[in-house]
Structures are given as structure tokens and as C-alpha cells.
């Protein structure tokens, strides 16, 4: 608890001035009174077009109840109050915030999502204790450079705005752990993001990105990334999941082997195409992951006209990946599989070969008894017939086993 305290830049006579009467129409006195005790104020969904002055000055002006109670012996000690630490003004019609924001220096949480804000005031820099700032679902076109002063910020949520760039100095947010910039208009990601050493989650999906700086440490889907090179992968030694689905990648670089901790790689719905003269999935990839704990491989929705020869033949090292459980390679042009070697993948439970160019399904595939999901629809083979496929994996495997030559 603290008595009314001096705030830098305020009117020195403010402590002797009662709250404005006009504030009571938009913010009930009961809410303000409770906020002085709890340090939290929720004004969401009140159709506010501006933040009332009594909110900014909640810890500055003498509260209304002082006019009714002037006794120092009262249990209601209006002169003792808790600094406001959490302010929620979401789901209103705010178009701007004033510099009076600086009158709430103790704020640790400021939630103003779902408004109509086009900018943030430079006074944001005075919120030195702020740990969470949610300005998502607004109309921000740019961020003030002063946002870099928020050294204690851990969560910054800017998704669904109109941001086209990130201000200089962003790397100074050294404690930032969660940054959401999805659904904006970003075309460039600053290299300075690599200095955000505390960052755990970075969401850049649904922007207009065409490339990533070499320093980037996290890549997200639903962009237009066309190239992935060694410089993009070199610093991702500890990454577990790399999700690059829904982009424009045309090839998988050899340097993917640098990702020694990788457990899941999703390249679905890109423009990857096979080339007999160029091996897009080199042996080094499989050699490098031999001792990894990778469990899933996803190449669905690309333009593979065959699994490149080394992959089509299922190189011996692939069978040494004892943890491999899932292979997804639907919506390509794969023409054949080697059932005998597929059987050696004892932990394989899911094989998705839908919408490819398989002219026949080898009966020996029925011996892959650990398969729980086998998807073969959308291929030109005549048998098994559709009626068998509709019965599910167990029926397909039994059908195939019955046709193994004796």
C-alpha cells in the first residue's frame, strides 16, 4: 500500500484536487474504489471512445470518497491505496491514447486489444515496469521507437494490425519471451531479432515475408519464403520443430543436416519438385539424422514426381531411424514404394500416400503389421478397389497379405 505519491511531470496541486465529476458517467466510482485497493481495473467492453482522465489519474487525484470521510480514525483509509498494476481497456472504440499514460508508472499489464488504435504515445517509455502489452486487433501502422525502453517486457502481442516495419532498437527488449506479429503487413524481419536472447515464441505467420535474414532464429508458416540457405539454418542447433508449410520453397538445402536436435520438419504445401539430375534429399540428410529422435516426415502437397532415387530405394540408413512413426507424402507424383524395406521400419504407424501416381500396390506391404493408418486414395491403381479402401487399414493389409505369392 502507498499514500498518494508524487509522479514526475504531474501538477503539484493535483493532490488537493478531487476527481472530476464527469468521470462517473463512464466509470462507476465503485470500480475506481475497488481498483485502488486491488491495483487492477477492468474497463473492457464499455463502448469507450477515450480513456477517462480519472483512470489515468487514479493514483494522483484525491478520490471522491474523501469528501464524505475526513476522519483519520476511519477504517476506510482513502489516503492509502495500491498503485494500479493491471489495466484492461479491451473491446472498446479507442482511437488513441494520451501521454497521460505516464501517470501509471507501476503498470505491469496493459491490455488494449480490439480497439481502433492507429498509434501508441511516446509516453509508453515511462511504463518501465510493464511486463505484458497486448495491442492486438487494432489498426497500428507503426510502433514508437520508445517501445524499446520497456526493458522488463516479457509478452508483446501485436497480431492483427497493419504494421509494415519494426522500429530500430527492438533488440533492447532483452527480457522478451513471447512476441506475436502475425497477421500484419511485414515484408522484412530485422536481423536484430537474433539479439532477443530470451525469446521463446515468435509468430510471424500471415505476413508478406519473402525472405528471412540469416540471423533469424524462428520461422513460421503462411508466408512466401522462396529460399532457405545455410545461413538461415546455421544458428538453429537446438530447434526441435521447424514449420515451413504454406510457403514457396523449391528445394531442401543440404544444410538441413545442421539441425541435430530436429524432431519434426513440416515442408507441406511448398513448390518442392524432384530432379533426377539434382538430389533434393541427399544421403547426408539421412546420415545426419540416423541418431536423432525424429518421428515424423512431411512432404505432402509438393510437386515430387518421384521420391528421388536414393529415397525411392529407401537407403539403408533410413531404416536405422528406429523412432520414425509417420511418413506423409500425399499430393505428389510418387510412382512406387519398396514394400520389403518398408517392412523394416518397425515403428512406422502412419503412411500417407494419397493422391500420387501409384499404378500398383505391392502385396508385401500387407506385412507391415504395425501400420495403423495407411492412406492410398487418389491413386490410379485398380486394386485394391475402392470398396476395400473404404473398410480401413486393417482390411487393406489383410487384402494385400492374401495376394502375396506362395
For residue 405, pLDDT over 80 is answered with: yes
- pLDDT tens per residue across span 48-75: 999 999 999 998 876 665 555 555 555 5
Give the pLDDT band (50/70/90) at residue 202: confident
Residue 303 falls inside a structural domain = no
- Measure the CA–CA gap between 163 and 112, rounded to whole angstroms: 16
* Mean pLDDT over each residue of the chain, to the nearest integer: 77
The long-range contacts involving 58-61, CB below 8 angstroms and separated by at least 24 positions, are 58/32, 58/84, 58/104, 59/4, 59/5, 59/7, 59/83, 59/84, 59/103, 59/104, 59/106, 60/4, 60/7, 60/10, 60/14, 60/15, 60/103, 61/14, 61/15, 61/17, 61/18, 61/19
In a domain, 62, yes or no: yes
* Residue 287 resides in a domain: no
Same domain, 9 and 72: yes
Domain assignment present for residue 217? The answer is yes
Is the model more confident about 376 or about 215?
A: 376
Q: Are residues 80 and 121 in the same domain?
A: no
> Cα 376 to the chain's mean position, in Å?
33
Residue 249: per-residue pLDDT? 72
The whole-number average pLDDT for the span 139-152 is: 95
C-alpha dist (Å) from residue 284 to 16, 287, 307, 310, 324? 76, 5, 16, 11, 17
**Long-range contacts formed by 105-112: CB under 8 A, 24+ apart:** 105/7, 105/129, 106/39, 106/59, 108/132, 108/152, 109/85, 110/134, 111/44, 111/87, 112/138
pLDDT at residue 337 is higher than 80: yes
Nearest to 189 by CA among 223, 216, 221: 216
Q: How far apart are CA 65 and CA 47, in angstroms?
A: 26
Place of cell 541418431: 291
Q: Provide the CATH number for the domain around residue 213.
A: 3.80.10.10
Domain match, 126 and 216 both: yes
Average of pLDDT values for 249-277? 65
On whether both 125 and 210 belong to a single domain, the answer is yes
| Final residue of a structural domain among 171, 192, 222 | 222
Radius of gyration over alpha carbons of the chain, in Å? 30
Provide mean pLDDT across the span 359-365.
92
- Residues in Cβ contact with 237 at an 8 Å cutoff, skipping those fewer than 6 apart: 258, 259, 260, 261
Domain shared by 66 and 148, yes or no: no
Q: What is the pLDDT of residue 11?
A: 44
Higher pLDDT among residues 356 and 271, named by residue: 356
Query: What is the structure's pLDDT at 67?
Result: 56
Look at residue 229 and tell me whether its pLDDT is greater than 70.
Answer: no
User: Which of 347 and 133 is assigned the larger pLDDT?
Assistant: 133
Same domain (yes/no): 214, 138: yes
Tell me what pLDDT residue 206 has: 84
Contact 376, 396 (CB under 8 A): yes
* Residue pLDDT, tens place only, 69-123: 555 555 555 556 889 999 999 999 999 999 999 999 999 999 999 999 999 999 9
**pLDDT at 16 > cutoff 50:** no
Q: What is the pLDDT of residue 14?
A: 42
pLDDT for 325 beyond 60: yes
| Domain C-terminal end among 222, 247, 265 | 222
My answer on whether 76 and 136 are in the same domain is no
The winner for highest mean pLDDT among 114-118, 240-244, 385-389 is 114-118
Taking residues 274-280, report their average pLDDT: 40
Q: Which residue, of 222, 249, 270, is where some domain finishes?
A: 222
Weakest-pLDDT range from 100-104, 185-189, 212-216: 212-216
DSSP assignments along 298-362, one per residue? E--SSB-SS--HHHHT--GGGGG-TT--EEE--SS------HHHHTT-TT--EEE--SS--S---
Q: What is the CA 266 to chain-centroid distance, rounded?
A: 15
CA distance 386 to 234: 47
Cell numbers of 396, please? 487393406
Residue 10 within any structural domain of the chain? yes
Domain of 15?
1-84
Q: Which residues contact 13 (CB under 8 A, 6 or more apart)?
A: none
pLDDT of residue 362: 92
CA distances from 307 to 68, 312, 319, 358, 361 (A): 82, 5, 16, 12, 16
Interval 300-322: pLDDT, tens = 555 555 444 333 434 455 556 66
Task: Please give the model's pTM, rounded to 2 decimal places.
Answer: 0.52
Helix%, strand%, coil% for the chain, nearest 5: 25, 10, 65
Q: How far apart are CA 77 and CA 59, in angstroms?
A: 14
Please tell me whether residue 397 adopts helix, strand or coil conformation.
helix
Q: Given this model, what pLDDT does residue 269 score?
A: 74
Q: Is residue 109 part of a domain?
A: no
Region 371-395: mean pLDDT is 93
- Considering the domain architecture, whether residues 214 and 121 belong to the same structural domain is answered as yes
Total domains present in the chain: 2
The residue count of the chain comes to 406
Tell me whether residue 24 is in a domain: yes
Mean pLDDT, residues 353-366 taken together? 90
Residue with the larger pLDDT of the pair 84 and 295: 84
Which pLDDT score is estimated for 1? Answer: 47
Q: Is a pLDDT exceeding 80 seen at residue 143?
A: yes
Q: Residue holding cell 499514460?
A: 101
40: in domain: yes
Amino acid at each position: 500500500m502507498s499514500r498518494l505519491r508524487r509522479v514526475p511531470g504531474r501538477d503539484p496541486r493535483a493532490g488537493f484536487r478531487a476527481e472530476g465529476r464527469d468521470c462517473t458517467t463512464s466509470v462507476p466510482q465503485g470500480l475506481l474504489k475497488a481498483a485502488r485497493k486491488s491495483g487492477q481495473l477492468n474497463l473492457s467492453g464499455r463502448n469507450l471512445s477515450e480513456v477517462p482522465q480519472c483512470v489515468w489519474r487514479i493514483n494522483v487525484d484525491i478520490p471522491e470518497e474523501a469528501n464524505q470521510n475526513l476522519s483519520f480514525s476511519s477504517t476506510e483509509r482513502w489516503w492509502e491505496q495500491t498503485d494500479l498494476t493491471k489495466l484492461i481497456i479491451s473491446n472498446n472504440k479507442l482511437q488513441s491514447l494520451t501521454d497521460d499514460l505516464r501517470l501509471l508508472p507501476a503498470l505491469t499489464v496493459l491490455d488494449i486489444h480490439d480497439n481502433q488504435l492507429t498509434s501508441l504515445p511516446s509516453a509508453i517509455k515511462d511504463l518501465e515496469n510493464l511486463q505484458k502489452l497486448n495491442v492486438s486487433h487494432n489498426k497500428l501502422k507503426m510502433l514508437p521507437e520508445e517501445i524499446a525502453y520497456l526493458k522488463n517486457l516479457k509478452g508483446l502481442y501485436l497480431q492483427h494490425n497493419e504494421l509494415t516495419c519494426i522500429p530500430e532498437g527492438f533488440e533492447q527488449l532483452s527480457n522478451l519471451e513471447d512476441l506475436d506479429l502475425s497477421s500484419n503487413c511485414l515484408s522484412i524481419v530485422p536481423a536484430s531479432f537474433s539479439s532477443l536472447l530470451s525469446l521463446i515464441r515468435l509468430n510471424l505467420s500471415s505476413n508478406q515475408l519473402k525472405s528471412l535474414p540469416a540471423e533469424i532464429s524462428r520461422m513460421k508458416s503462411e508466408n512466401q519464403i522462396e529460399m532457405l540457405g545455410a545461413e538461415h539454418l546455421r544458428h538453429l542447433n537446438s530447434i526441435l520443430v521447424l514449420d515451413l508449410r504454406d510457403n514457396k520453397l523449391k528445394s531442401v538445402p543440404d544444410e538441413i543436416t545442421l539441425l541435430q536436435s530436429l524432431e519434426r520438419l513440416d515442408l507441406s504445401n511448398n513448390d518442392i519438385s524432384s530432379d533426377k539430375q539434382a538430389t533434393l534429399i541427399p544421403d547426408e540428410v539421412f546420415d545426419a539424422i540416423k541418431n536423432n529422435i525424429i518421428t515424423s516426415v512431411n512432404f505432402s502437397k509438393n510437386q515430387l514426381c518421384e521420391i528421388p532415387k536414393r529415397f525411392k530405394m529407401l537407403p539403408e540408413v533410413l531404416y536405422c531411424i528406429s523412432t520414425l512413426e509417420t511418413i506423409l507424402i500425399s499430393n505428389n507424383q510418387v510412382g512406387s514404394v519398396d514394400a520389403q524395406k518398408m517392412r523394416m521400419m518397425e515403428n512406422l504407424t502412419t503412411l500417407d500416400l494419397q493422391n500420387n501416381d501409384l499404378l500398383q500396390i505391392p502385396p508385401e506391404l500387407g506385412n507391415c503389421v504395425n501400420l495403423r493408418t495407411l492412406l492410398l486414395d487418389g491413386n490410379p491403381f485398380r486394386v485394391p478397389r475402392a470398396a476395400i479402401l473404404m473398410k480401413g487399414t486393417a482390411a487393406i493389409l489383410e487384402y494385400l497379405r492374401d495376394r502375396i505369392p506362395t
